[in-house]
């Protein structure tokens, strides 16, 4: 049994990891294609006011950055360099190599996404269980109401609201950034600076999980074995938590994998509102400046995160559910 | 009974969250580590700190970080003064050779002496076509080469005399011994520079801050601030929140005339006001509607410039009519454009434009209707709508269109009317040729976007550029001012102010006069940052 299970899991992981490079090349090609058809001109970043650049100056700058070749050749050139571990140099970041720059900027975003994901899962689970347990009571109605509002509200609006209440008005949290600007030798991020952006980011996805858990629980509660358990005289909470919840949790994992992509994408707005020094803000800048190596680097990083996140969710799913375990074995 | 642990768990979780928040908001920071540090908020993260690549916003005029010093610099009244140069440069009688002595007491932050070889290296790097800098084209088309004659003397050789050349020697000088042999486009120096200015580069925290520390060996004397933290906050309301919670000491990006009001009556802040860009309507002669000068002038007369000042600049601005700042020597104070909508209507009627059934002017079945191109932004929207209303009043239908810069350039090159913030506080010779000379009106869309083709305008530009005599140059530019008003393709409308907020406990804040652009560090608000100090921790 155990050997079989590991075998199945191993195959799943191997298959996904083999497909990953194909996915990444396709994503990179799509990014190049999108940029090729977009109206943005990389030269505009070099011009100011009415003082335009001469055609010769533009040609020189394009040549210096290899932007004088057709886009498909630029892509092939880039692909060749990637095979040697070089993701290119970013005009937007002082001409520095993309990979180490991304590495340096990854941590704040990873911390923000990780915290928001944890908040979403825990918050969604607790709220869903509470709503199911007190179905149709004020607790349920309040949680449902909050869910509808948080799904409907755009994250920048939620973010501004949080800043207004908890920073400007109550003064509990700082008004943006990731660490005290005056402090020396600061760490990666200061937890107090993390709270509001993490909540704003989690708020965008929290409702999906809360409503999902609630509905799953209510459905499972109608299953025969739950009815049987209740008939045996087992109390409401043990039935809910010990019998119903584990079964409701399985699809929850898949949902987490899917919504990870939404959370990663949501960082663009949230980081801008909270001046959070992460990749989301940088992605916007890279797109505006048509800094292709940087833009592609960030896009690939996002893609890897989403693919690995989904894989992790699937692995957990299989480990948790013996039926799926056996069918793949 | 069993409900209890869920309640307990929830309570623990919320307490945990609250625990994070229960510390006091110490963004004003604690104790021993914070004296003489100043936090300055700017809008965007600089993409390159190397002055060879232009100023921190990638644009022109040789701005540079206070990490660097330059041969010459501007004083408070925008007068050129020596910085790394021992004295003002010597210009040969034919105007094609400029010789500069470099002061002998300046050192790089790594201890090496600054020499004429560094000066030659810097400017030759700008001239190198493989170095991807716009500065070569924007400022140094007249420069042929630079030689270090000895350790202290650098000689610039020009293709032709350039009146504005000295004003271009404000580019930060970079160290040859650090950069020689490197591909400058990709040098690590670009984000970790070594300079010879009042502040030493300490740290760049990506996406968040750049930290500078005082240079103890600065040749310019003692530096008042111990540490300067520059943080990047694009959103205006975010900068306001950070100012109000004490996270920022200075907003150096500029706040809108409405936003600045909340700081004006607050004793904790000082509001600094510096005259800004000129709001300019461009009517290209290649556009069928704007072919005749009379029509272009009629459009100018239909706009109530004083009303723009009242509406867009909250009354705190100036009406203008020409391309130079109102108090600049090149501006002819006797020239103005009177608001006269009736005369405008009459002029347009004389050219066949008669009101149609809906009030919009019609000629030969064609409606007088054009797109007005401008850049995204709240203030920009307001300005475009004001122009639409003013011209709507005389029967011209204007459709404002906010576009990104590249698309603006394209449409303007194709003859679209545009609304922009422009202006030059320095020597007019820096840009008048590029902007109005007929030799640039054909092939290249970058210069002379309004396609001005006038012998008299060309002559005035050339006279102003070639003469060495201030009285003669003044006369030339005054005539240019008059001729441009007559031409009507460039409608200079008003000058608003740029507003900055600085916490009141910062002293030494004495902004440069008349620096219209929001410029980074060697100009405007921050030009004398080395003289600033913070009184309290």
Inter-chain touch B13–A39, beta carbons under 8 Å: no
At A52 the pLDDT is: 66
Query: Quick check: B283 and B509 in contact, CB under 8 A?
Result: no
Inter-chain touch A50–B208, beta carbons under 8 Å: no
Tell whether B2 is within 8 A of chain A (Cβ): yes
Inter-chain touch B207–A281, beta carbons under 8 Å: yes
Q: Which of A3-7, A21-25, A303-307, B374-378 has the lowest mean pLDDT?
A: A3-7
CA A58/CA A44 separation, integer angstroms: 10
Tell whether B455 is within 8 A of chain A (Cβ): no
Enumerate the residues of chain A whose CB falls inside 8 A of the CB of residue B191: 93-94, 96
Inter-chain touch A51–B247, beta carbons under 8 Å: no
Enumerate the residues of chain A whose CB falls inside 8 A of the CB of residue B210: none
At B517 the pLDDT is: 61
Pairing of strands B533-534, B361-363: unpaired
How far CA A271 is from CA of A178, A291, B95, in Å, comes to 10, 20, 53
At B118 the pLDDT is: 97
Tell whether B212 is within 8 A of chain A (Cβ): no
Task: Give the tens place of pLDDT for each residue, B423-475.
Answer: 777 788 878 887 888 887 665 556 788 888 889 999 999 999 888 888 999 99
Longest dimension (CA), chain B: 99
Of A39, A105, A126, the CB nearest to B407: A39
Task: Give the tens place of pLDDT for each residue, A86-142.
Answer: 899 999 899 999 999 898 888 899 999 999 999 998 998 889 888 888 888 898 899
Enumerate the residues of chain B whose CB falls inside 8 A of the CB of residue A276: 207
* Mutation site for B-interface testing, chosen from A64, A90, A121, A181 by largest number of B Cβ within 10 Å: A181
Residue with tokens 């709270």: A195
DSSP code string of B274-325: EEEEEEEEE--TTSGGG-SHHHHHHHHHTS-HHHHHHHHSTT-SEE--SSB-
Task: Give the tens place of pLDDT for each residue, A153-170.
Answer: 888 888 999 998 998 888
Distance from CA of A152 to the nearest CA of B (A): 23
| Chain mean pLDDT for chain A | 84
Question: What percentage of chain A reaches a pLDDT higher than 90?
Answer: 20
Which residues does B117 contact at the CB level (< 8 Å), separation at least 6?
B148, B151, B176
SS3 of B3-63: HHHHHHHHHHHHHHHHHHHCCCCCCCCCHHHCCCEEEEEECCCCCCCCHHHCCCCCCCCCC
CA A142/CA B208 separation, integer angstroms: 38
Coil, strand or helix at B148: strand
Inter-chain touch B27–A175, beta carbons under 8 Å: yes
At A47 the pLDDT is: 65
Structure tokens at A286: 């890279």
pLDDT of A259 > 50? The answer is: yes
Enumerate the residues of chain A whose CB falls inside 8 A of the CB of residue B187: 94-95
At B24 the pLDDT is: 36
Burial class (CB in 10 A: 0-12, 13-18, 19+), B352: exposed
Residues 44-83 (B) with a CB less than 8 A from some CB of A: 44-45, 47-50, 54, 57-60
Q: Which helix (H) or strand (E) holds A225?
A: helix A224-231
- Structural domains in chain B? 55-188 (3.90.76.10), 277-496 (3.10.105.10)
Task: Give the tens place of pLDDT for each residue, B311-367.
Answer: 888 878 899 999 998 888 999 999 999 999 999 999 999 999 999 999 999 999 999
Of A50, A172, A275, the CB nearest to B420: A50
At A288 the pLDDT is: 80
Structure tokens at B461: 């530009």
Residue B251 sits at the vertex; the CA angle it makes with B81 and B260, to the nearest 5 degrees, is 110
Of B47, B60, B247, the CB nearest to A177: B247
Global pTM reads 0.82
Q: Note the Cα A40 to chain centre separation in Å.
A: 26
Inter-chain touch A54–B137, beta carbons under 8 Å: yes
Enumerate the residues of chain B whose CB falls inside 8 A of the CB of residue A122: 13
What are φ and ψ of residue B118, in 5° steps?
A: -65, -40
Distance from CA of A327 to the nearest CA of B (A): 36
DSSP code string of A10-75: HHHHHHHHHHHHHHHHHHHHHHHHHHHHSS--GGGGG-BTTBPPPHHHHHHHHHHTTTTS-HHHHH
- Using 70 as the pLDDT threshold, list the residues of chain B that sit under it: 1-35, 55-62, 441-446, 515-520, 536-537
Residue with tokens 């400029």: B98
């Amino acid at each position: 049994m155990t050997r079989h299970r590991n075998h199945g899991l191993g195959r799943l992981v191997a298959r996904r990891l083999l497909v990953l490079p194909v996915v990444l090349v396709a994503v990179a090609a799509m990014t190049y294609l999108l940029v090729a058809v977009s109206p943005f001109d990389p030269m505009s970043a070099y011009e100011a006011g009415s003082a335009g650049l001469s055609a010769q100056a533009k040609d020189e700058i394009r040549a210096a950055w290899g932007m004088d070749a057709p886009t498909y050749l630029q892509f092939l050139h880039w692909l060749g360099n990637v095979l040697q571990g070089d993701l290119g140099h970013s005009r937007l970041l002082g001409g520095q190599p993309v990979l180490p720059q991304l590495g340096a900027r990854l941590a704040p975003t990873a911390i923000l996404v990780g915290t928001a994901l944890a908040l979403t899962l825990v918050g969604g689970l607790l709220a869903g269980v509470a709503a199911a347990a007190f179905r149709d009571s004020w607790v349920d109605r309040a949680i449902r109401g909050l869910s509808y509002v948080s799904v409907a509200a755009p994250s920048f609006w939620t973010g501004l609201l949080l800043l207004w209440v908890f920073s400007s008005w109550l003064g509990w949290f700082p008004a943006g950034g990731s660490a005290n600007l005056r402090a020396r030798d600061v760490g990666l991020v200061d937890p107090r600076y993390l709270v509001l952006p993490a909540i704003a980011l989690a708020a965008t996805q929290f409702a999906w999980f809360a409503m999902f858990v609630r509905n799953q629980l209510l459905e499972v509660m109608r299953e025969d074995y739950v009815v049987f358990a209740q008939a045996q005289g087992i109390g409401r909470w043990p039935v809910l938590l010990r019998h119903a919840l584990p079964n409701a949790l399985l699809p929850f994992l898949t949902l987490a994998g899917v919504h990870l992509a939404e959370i990663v994408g949501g960082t663009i707005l949230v980081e801008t509102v909270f001046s959070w020094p992460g990749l989301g803000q940088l992605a916007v800048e890279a797109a505006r400046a048509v800094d292709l190596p940087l833009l592609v680097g960030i896009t690939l990083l996002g893609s890897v995160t989403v693919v690995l996140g989904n894989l992790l969710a699937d692995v957990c799913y299989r480990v948790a559910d013996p039926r799926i375990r056996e069918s793949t074995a | 009974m069993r409900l209890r642990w869920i309640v307990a768990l929830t309570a623990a979780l919320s307490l945990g969250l609250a625990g994070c928040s229960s510390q006091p908001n110490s963004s004003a920071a604690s104790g021993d580590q914070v004296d003489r540090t100043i936090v300055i908020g700017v809008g965007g993260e600089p993409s390159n700190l190397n002055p060879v690549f232009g100023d921190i916003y990638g644009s022109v005029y040789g701005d540079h970080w206070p990490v660097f010093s330059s041969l010459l610099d501007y004083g408070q009244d925008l007068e050129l003064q020596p910085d790394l140069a021992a004295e003002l440069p010597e210009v040969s009688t034919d105007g094609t050779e400029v010789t500069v002595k470099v002061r002998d007491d300046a050192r790089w932050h790594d201890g090496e002496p600054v020499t004429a070889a560094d000066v030659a290296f810097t400017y030759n790097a700008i001239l190198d076509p493989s170095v991807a800098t716009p500065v070569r084209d924007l400022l140094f088309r007249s420069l042929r080469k630079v030689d270090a004659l000895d350790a202290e003397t650098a000689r610039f050789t020009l293709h032709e005399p350039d009146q504005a050349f000295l004003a271009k020697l404000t580019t930060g000088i970079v160290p040859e011994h650090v950069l020689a042999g490197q591909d400058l486009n990709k040098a690590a120096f670009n984000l970790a520079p070594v300079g010879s200015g009042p502040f030493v580069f300490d740290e760049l925290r990506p996406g968040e801050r750049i930290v500078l520390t005082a240079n103890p060996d600065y040749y310019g004397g003692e530096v008042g601030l111990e540490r300067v933290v520059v943080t990047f906050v694009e959103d205006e309301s975010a900068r306001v929140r950070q100012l109000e919670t004490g996270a920022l000491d200075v907003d150096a990006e500029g706040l809108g005339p409405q936003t600045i009001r909340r700081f004006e009556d607050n004793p904790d802040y000082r509001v600094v006001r510096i005259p800004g860009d000129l709001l300019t309507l461009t009517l290209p002669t290649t556009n069928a509607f704007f072919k005749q000068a009379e029509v272009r002038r009629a459009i100018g007369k239909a706009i109530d410039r004083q009303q723009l000042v009242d509406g867009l600049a909250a009354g705190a601005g100036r009406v203008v009519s020409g391309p130079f700042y109102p108090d600049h020597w090149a501006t002819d104070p006797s020239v103005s454009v009177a608001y006269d909508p009736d005369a405008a209507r009459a002029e347009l009627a004389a050219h066949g434009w008669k009101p149609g059934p809906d009030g919009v002017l019609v000629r030969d079945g064609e409606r007088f209707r054009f797109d007005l191109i401008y850049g995204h932004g709240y203030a920009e929207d307001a300005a475009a709508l004001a122009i639409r209303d003013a011209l709507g009043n005389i029967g011209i239908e204007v459709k404002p269109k906010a576009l990104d810069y590249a698309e603006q350039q394209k449409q303007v090159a194709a003859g679209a009317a545009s609304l922009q913030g422009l202006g030059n506080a320095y020597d007019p010779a820096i840009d008048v040729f590029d902007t109005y000379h007929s030799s640039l009106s054909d092939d290249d869309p970058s210069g002379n976007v309004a396609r001005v083709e006038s012998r008299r305008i060309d002559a005035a530009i050339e006279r102003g550029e070639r003469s060495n005599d201030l009285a003669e140059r003044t006369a030339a530019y005054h005539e240019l001012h008059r001729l441009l008003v007559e031409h009507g393709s460039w409608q200079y409308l008003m000058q608003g102010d740029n507003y900055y907020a600085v916490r009141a406990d910062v002293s030494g804040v004495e902004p440069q006069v008349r620096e219209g652009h929001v410029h980074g560090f060697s100009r405007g608000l921050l030009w004398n940052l080395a003289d600033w100090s913070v009184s309290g921790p």
